[in-house]
A and B are shown apart, each in its own frame.
Chain A
Amino acid sequence: MKAILVGLCALMLSFGPAGAATSELAPDELVRRLSDEVLEILRSDEGLRNGDTTRAVERIEEVVLPHFNFRRMTMLAVGRDWREATPEQRQRLMDAFYSMLVRTYSNALTQYRDQTIAFRPLRMSPGDTTVRVQTAVHQPGAQPVSVDYVLEKTERGWMVFDVVVAGVSLVTNYRGTFAQEIRAGGIDGLIRALETRGSDLVPPPAGQS
């Protein structure tokens, strides 16, 4: 009787939350699974066709973004000054950066037009804790765009901490802008800038210098 119960629990666990199932995956398998999920959401979401990204973004936040290491991403975007930030400042930076990224790239979701994703073979040695999964996004009538995911091994499985589109790291590309804010107003200045950017939905006036 007890054995059946244990067996049942084990079975339920294996079908349990996505995190438990995906933590075992190899990095390229994880990226493959995540991009399949995103493509599935993009294809099936009704709202997207009318330009409404709310539901699609919610689903992506739920399924895909838990596999992104936003702490590491924020650290890389902030750069050297991260060391000087207090734990509270770091948390606020992370939260503000997270919402900015989600807001920004949710606009891109409406741009989906039958793109397909091709994976390059993974080059990885057994001991590696950081790998780069290389893909190319093919779209009809245009040159393919390379999109690479950089992942690190954590106790929660492999986590994405950078996305490199056509050679541009979307994370470290923020470093120049962030450093500029920090030079002008310190870490709190950057936090303020990120948080106000998040709250105003209208674009800032031209030439905001």
Chain B
Amino acid sequence: MTTRFPRPSFAVTVLACLALVLGGCATRVPNPDDPLERLNRAMFSFNEGVDKAVLRPAAQVYDTVTPQPVRTGVGNFFSNLGDLWIGFNNMLQGKFGDGFSDWMRFGLNSTFGIVGLLDVATEAGLPKNDEDLGQTLAVWGVGEGAFVVLPFFGPRTLRDAAVLPVDMKGDQVWTVDHVATRNTFTALRLVHNRANLLGLDKTFDEASLDKYAFMRDFYLQQRRYKVHDGAPPIEYEDFNGDGLGPQTGNASAADRVAHAALGRLELIDAAEVDHASKPLVSR
């Protein structure tokens, strides 16, 4: 019950965000790939505020007081709870081998791994997968839709946002009946996951000219990578036209087409580089 965010303050927040949207951002040139940009930016800074005020401080405390073995256990525990739902989604996507492997993971780790505190399945050669209903829909051919930033939940594609409630239901943590336990688990997982990202804060802050746009592009690129199970083709075009310099601005359309065609020759088909099936060679 208390996991729900109280309605009144939420409404106030949305209003505040809208006011922000209407007030600011007048000078920004609209980005055709991000139709909801204004709303998203407002939500993004709202989430940043929540993070700064609550989540990050909590994660910092957790980071200082928790010894590494405990952290590893916490991470493994939640990771194990997610494996049933991950396996189910692999089944829905027709990847039966992976699905069985996920369920085997759950079985092994829940028993030999002491309710999931140890990840013995990875040691036994069953790698962790990353699936959710959004990815399943993508495999079924549902487009991702616009990019949205949800309050509290952060960046999503419209497709993934739509199935978020189902994804949360499928996740074991949210179906624990005992309310206090569920709330504790939810909070712990949130803080644990945030603590894992603490080291990246400064890098992300300084990584770009515009944190929101950098985050958006990062998220979308990674999301597509997950949907393709680690093999989205990355294209490296050639924008050089060396020696032509600024004159290329006046080049004919035919020249441009030729340029583009040349660039395509460099296409790297990452699909051929099969991530999953290749064993790692340890150094």
Contacts and interface: CB of A to CB of B under 8 A. Distances in A.
Interface stretch (B99-107, B165-173, B213-221): B213-221
B208 A141 contact: no
A150 B234 CA distance: 11
Given A80-B239, A132-B273, A164 B234 contact: yes
B171 to A, nearest CB: 17
Interface in A75-111: 75-76, 78-80, 82-87, 100, 103-105, 107-108, 110-111
Interface stretch (A1-9, A12-20, A59-67, A113-121): A113-121
A184 B28 contact: yes
Nearest to A86: B246
Given A83-B239, A84-B248, A86-B246, A141 B68 contact: yes
A167 B68 contact: no
Report, as a range, how many residues of chain A touch the other chain. 35 or more
Contact of B230 (A146, A173, A180, A206): A146
Interface in B202-247: 202-203, 205-210, 213-214, 216-218, 221-222, 224-226, 230, 232, 234, 236-241, 244-246
A158 to B, nearest CB: 15
Interface residues of B, number: 67
Nearest to A129: B266
Contact of A119 (B25, B234, B240, B281): B281
B221 A177 contact: no
B31 interface: yes
Nearest to B224: A167
B145 interface: no
Contacts of A79: 239
A209 B210 CA distance: 9
Contacts of B279: 120
Sort A-B residue pairs by CB-CB distance and give the 8 closest, nearest first.
Answer: A167-B225, A141-B72, A82-B239, A111-B199, A176-B217, A107-B202, A83-B248, A118-B280
21 contacts: A76-B237, A82-B239, A83-B249, A85-B246, A119-B281, A120-B278, A123-B273, A167-B222, A167-B225, A167-B230, A167-B232, A168-B225, A172-B234, A176-B214, A177-B210, A177-B217, A180-B28, A180-B29, A184-B28, A206-B48, A209-B24
